[in-house]
Amino acid sequence: MSYATHEVTRLGWELAECEAQVARTLAAEREHLFGPSRPGNSRAGNPRDADLDSETMRDIVLSDTADIAGAVAVAKEAAYWRKANLLQRYRREAERRRRKAQFAYCAALVADDPDPHGHA
């Protein structure tokens, strides 16, 4: 029996991959919101640390605003929350995929051995 032909094994691997993806997306989301998880790190994620692309910076500098620093702060805040929302979406998609993989794996286990305890 090979990995490719045994449905339970294949679905088990798929579930494991989904679990890993959930862990990666959750770690990325937490790092963005709370900062890197290193011992002694007290720096939470901060919108002031968000990066702006050069086009956004150019648009701010060339705008009619008198408060360029304020406009940059607003743009950084928006960029920070856009990324937070994107990471949240990735995590939710990974969690949905994991739930589907769990259901498929359990269904395959039952189909492979509907009475695992040998009861008639």
**Would you state the pLDDT for residue 43?**
59
Mean pLDDT of 18-23: 98
Mean pLDDT of 102-115: 88
Q: Are 30 and 45 in contact (CB under 8 A)?
A: no
Structure tokens at 38: 């290193």
Q: Are 102 and 15 in contact (CB under 8 A)?
A: yes
**Would you state the pLDDT for residue 49?**
75
pLDDT of 68 above 80: yes
Write down the H helix ranges in 1-120: 7-34, 54-62, 68-112
pLDDT of 1 above 80: no
What band does 19 get if pLDDT is binned at 50, 70 and 90?
very high
